[in-house]
């Protein structure tokens, strides 16, 4: 989701508790220790799959606890990110709160003792059977607040994934009856469209299109060890050889062949989406958050597929339910998390294309929604999530997007980019690790 890109940065900054927000603190819910009032704090938009499905969760929760008054309080992502510490150290804390994943947010709150260690509850309720593999990485933090290992301090409900959206009508017109099953088939399809004078992939470097494509090609040849070391600042991951080098070289080759079009350095995400929706390009590499917009706006038949034969695929878990240390109703908080992970709520999220972590794709009737949900479920089941490329260190997103512009403008080479990426990463890693 473009409006919450900041939520993807694993070490983007430290919770700014000193930034007092009248809007957030002035409306802080009254804490209750009598078990009669249960307060939930969340920041998802009212049109989102999560928010709408959590309304159903409230109904279920009320039936389980008829004597409890449930208060679902909404704030903004920015307010929660800036003021989480201030909220959770106050006298009127929520009983359960949605917090931002990553070292700078959930990790800081965990290391400062402001949110509960959930290991016992994870074991009791079996949450680790529903939130598995890479989906649990941003729910777990070590004693220093670094993600990827350690104890559970939050539980996500959903995930997100970068997929290929394709225009079935344009594919059929070009004589292509099915989406590609191998990289060779994909590149053959790209060349077929290019030979007909059609730009195969709607993309842009002033946004996330080029970045998604580049990291998809890197992930295609990567392995779990390389990505985990890169994401969680472990070992000495090589970014100027191996998967990063081969993926970047293929990306440069695609640029040279015109697969992403010409002069895309200034193209924004909205313009990129518009090119796909207008039928100018048959393909677009996008985050699953674009699904509902395409569902509403597209005037042609379309589908999705993950990068063929890729070892890993870019994606991530969603933000986290956390239980404040000062929560007055912790047992109710644990049951709330359990409720949001229950089949009825998870399947409700799935039917709204929210990519549930414990949903059943077979319950979805809409074919496009079912297809996307199953693709995500397959990637998660095979532990093939490679997260997002800007997670590891501060400033990496700006560096990478600048690099994408240089690559599409052909002012730098793949080798030069990966060499500078290695240098930037190593320097940032030393700063983060002290």
**Quick one: how far is CA 433 from the chain centroid?**
24
Q: Domain of 261?
A: 160-315+387-433
Sign (positive or negative) of CA dihedral 49, 50, 51, 52: positive
> Contact at 8 Å (CB) between 320 and 99?
yes
303 and 344 assigned to the same domain: no
237 and 347 assigned to the same domain: no
Q: How far apart are CA 289 and CA 368, in angstroms?
A: 14
Q: Which helix (H) or strand (E) holds 276?
A: helix 269-277
Write down how long the chain is.
434
272 and 397 assigned to the same domain: yes
Report residue 114 as tokens. Answer: 């402001």
204 and 336 assigned to the same domain: no
- The model carries a pTM of 0.90
Q: How far apart are CA 12 and CA 371, in angstroms?
A: 33
Q: Which helix (H) or strand (E) holds 72?
A: strand 69-74
19: left (phi over 0), alpha (psi -120 to 50) or beta: beta
199 and 137 assigned to the same domain: no
Evaluate whether residue 95 is within a structural domain.
yes
Query: To which residue do tokens 């060499």 refer?
Result: 419
Q: How far apart are CA 244 and CA 418, in angstroms?
A: 7
310 and 354 assigned to the same domain: no
Nearest alpha-carbon partner for 333 in 32, 26, 12? 32
Q: Which helix (H) or strand (E) holds 74?
A: strand 69-74
Residues near 418 by beta carbon (within 8 Å), at least 6 away in sequence? 239, 240, 241, 244, 245, 248
Q: Which helix (H) or strand (E) holds 167?
A: strand 159-167
Evaluate whether residue 367 is within a structural domain.
no
Sign (positive or negative) of CA dihedral 69, 74, 75, 77: positive
Report residue 151 as tokens. Answer: 């104890």
Q: Which helix (H) or strand (E) holds 27?
A: none
Evaluate whether residue 222 is within a structural domain.
yes
Q: What is the pLDDT of residue 56?
A: 97
Evaluate whether residue 81 is within a structural domain.
yes
> Contact at 8 Å (CB) between 316 and 138?
yes
Residue 72 burial by Cβ neighbours in a 10 Å radius (0-12, 13-18, 19+) = middle
**Is 156 in a helix, a strand, or coil?**
strand
179 and 77 assigned to the same domain: no
Query: To which residue do tokens 């077929």 refer?
Result: 192
Evaluate whether residue 373 is within a structural domain.
no
Report residue 322 as tokens. Answer: 């956390």
300 and 325 assigned to the same domain: no
54 and 130 assigned to the same domain: yes
152 and 168 assigned to the same domain: no
282 and 427 assigned to the same domain: yes
Residue 71 burial by Cβ neighbours in a 10 Å radius (0-12, 13-18, 19+) = middle
Report residue 242 as tokens. Answer: 């191996």
Domain total of the chain: 2
Q: Which helix (H) or strand (E) holds 69?
A: strand 69-74
Evaluate whether residue 292 is within a structural domain.
yes
What does the DSSP assignment read for 332-366?
Answer: HHHHHHHHHTSHHHHHHHHHTT--BSS--GGG--S
**Is 2 in a helix, a strand, or coil?**
helix
Evaluate whether residue 13 is within a structural domain.
yes
User: What CATH number has the domain bearing residue 123?
Assistant: 3.40.190.10
Sign (positive or negative) of CA dihedral 256, 259, 260, 264: positive
Evaluate whether residue 364 is within a structural domain.
no
pLDDT 10s digit of each residue in the chain, 434 long?
333 343 444 444 333 333 333 334 334 344 455 668 999 999 999 999 999 999 999 999 999 999 999 999 999 988 888 889 899 998 889 999 999 999 989 999 999 999 999 999 999 999 999 999 999 999 999 998 999 999 999 999 999 999 999 999 999 999 999 999 999 999 999 999 999 999 999 999 998 999 999 999 999 999 999 999 999 999 999 999 999 999 999 999 999 999 999 889 999 999 999 999 999 999 999 999 999 999 999 999 999 999 999 999 999 999 999 999 999 999 999 999 999 999 999 999 999 999 999 999 999 999 999 999 999 999 999 999 999 999 999 899 999 999 999 999 999 999 999 999 999 999 999 988 87
**Is 400 in a helix, a strand, or coil?**
helix
413 and 279 assigned to the same domain: yes
Condensed to tens digits (0 to 9), the pLDDT of residues 408-425 reads: 999 999 999 999 999 999
């Amino acid at each position: 989701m473009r409006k919450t890109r900041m939520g993807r940065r694993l070490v983007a900054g430290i919770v700014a508790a000193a930034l007092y927000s009248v809007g957030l603190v002035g409306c802080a819910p009254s804490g209750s220790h009598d078990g009669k009032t249960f307060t939930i704090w969340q920041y998802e938009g009212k049109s989102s799959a999560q928010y709408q499905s959590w309304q159903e969760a409230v109904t279920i929760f009320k039936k389980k606890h008829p004597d409890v008054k449930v208060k679902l309080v909404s704030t903004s992502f920015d307010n929660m990110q800036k003021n989480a510490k201030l909220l959770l150290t106050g006298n009127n804390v929520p009983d359960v709160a949605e917090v931002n994943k990553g070292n700078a947010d959930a990790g800081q709150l965990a290391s400062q003792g402001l949110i509960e260690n959930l290991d016992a509850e994870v074991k009791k309720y079996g949450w680790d059977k529903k939130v598995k593999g890479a989906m649990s990485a941003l729910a777990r933090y070590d004693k220093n607040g670094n993600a990827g290992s350690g104890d559970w301090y939050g539980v996500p409900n959903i995930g997100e994934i970068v997929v290929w959206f394709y225009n079935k009508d344009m594919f059929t017109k070009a004589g292509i009856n099915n989406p590609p099953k191998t990289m060779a088939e994909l590149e053959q399809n790209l060349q077929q469209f290019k030979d007909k004078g059609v730009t195969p992939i709607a993309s842009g470097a002033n946004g996330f299109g080029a970045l998604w494509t580049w990291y998809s090609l890197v992930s295609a040849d990567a392995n779990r060890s390389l990505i985990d070391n890169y994401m969680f600042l472990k070992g000495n991951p090589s970014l100027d050889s191996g998967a990063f080098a081969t993926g970047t070289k293929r990306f440069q080759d695609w640029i040279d062949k015109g697969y992403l079009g010409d002069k895309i350095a200034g193209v924004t995400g909205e313009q990129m989406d518009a090119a796909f929706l207008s039928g100018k390009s048959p393909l677009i590499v996008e985050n699953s958050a674009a699904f509902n917009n395409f569902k509403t706006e597209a005037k042609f038949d379309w589908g999705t597929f993950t990068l063929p034969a890729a070892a890993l695929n870019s994606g991530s878990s969603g933000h986290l339910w956390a239980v404040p240390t000062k929560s007055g109703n912790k047992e109710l908080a644990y049951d709330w998390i359990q409720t949001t992970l229950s089949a009825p709520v998870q399947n409700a999220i799935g039917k709204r294309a929210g990519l549930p972590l414990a949903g059943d794709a077979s319950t979805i009737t809409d074919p496009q929604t079912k297809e996307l949900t199953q693709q995500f479920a397959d990637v998660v089941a095979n532990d093939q999530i490679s997260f997002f490329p800007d997670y590891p260190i501060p400033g990496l997103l700006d560096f990478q997007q600048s690099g994408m512009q240089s690559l599409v403008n052909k002012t730098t080479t793949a080798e030069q980019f990966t060499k500078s990426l290695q240098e930037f990463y190593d320097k940032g890693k030393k700063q983060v690790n002290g």
